[in-house]
Amino acid sequence: MSNHKNHLWLRWTLANGLAELLGLGSTFAVIGFLVSKIDTGRITGILFSFALTVASGAIEATLVGLAQAWAMRPWFPAIGRFAWWRATLVGALLGYVLGYLPSTLMSMGETAGQAAQVEPPQWVTLLLAAGLGAAAGAVLSFAQWLVLRRKARRAGSWIPANMLAWACGMPVIFWGMDLAFKVGARYISPLQTNISPQQYIVPLLVVGGAVLLAGLVVGAIHGTFLVRMRAKAS
């Protein structure tokens, strides 16, 4: 791989990782803050929470879309920043709808009086996360592919590239969230009423590290496909 290809891959991977850290991290923070203010014991509260969660995906989409547009700009000058951001936003919002719909329906079922769902073993959760990531990757990248196909040769590989990338990245996020919950249980007692901000630091660092790692993994994988696309266009 030549120097310019290495530069593209490294620039893309780092931009994607940092953007996911800031974007997805901010999205999680907004979701956690807003949903905590909503009464999710009612159907209307669950639906409102779902709508806010999907809308908050615009934060991640904006930061990731703009970061990716900056990273690829020297090698794909024909792709406009606004076009790439818009495609990323559309894909992200659709992905959030599909990603949060199952848990929303389960919450509505529990509220309606159905039996609570039993949490599966971690390996099953991570396997399901990989499947969810593959499906989400297809949704997330479809609008981007519509932009790429006009400007790059063999852009059809972009959708499977994102499916593979998110099939690897999504389990990292789920693993990090589970680990943060377990770590948080060591620092915060269930009977404790006054929780200091310092007690949240370690769990938040775990989540942040997992999101950064997932962003780097995802960027490294579909960045490799992007480099090959650029090579075909040369």
Q: How many CA atoms lie within 13 A of 73 on its CB side?
A: 13
Section 125-146 average pLDDT: 94
Q: Give the pLDDT band (50/70/90) at residue 114.
A: low
Is 120 exposed, middle or buried (CB count within 10 Å of its CB: 0-12, 13-18, 19+)? exposed
Mean pLDDT, rounded, of the chain: 86
Section 90-115 average pLDDT: 75
Section 27-39 average pLDDT: 81
Number of domains in the chain: 1
> What token pair was written down for 51?
């709508």
Q: Residue 110's pLDDT is what? A: 63
Q: Give the pLDDT band (50/70/90) at residue 188.
A: low
- Which domain range does residue 124 map to? 3-233
Q: Residue 106's pLDDT is what? A: 72
Helix ranges (H only) for 3-157 are 3-35, 43-72, 81-111, 122-148
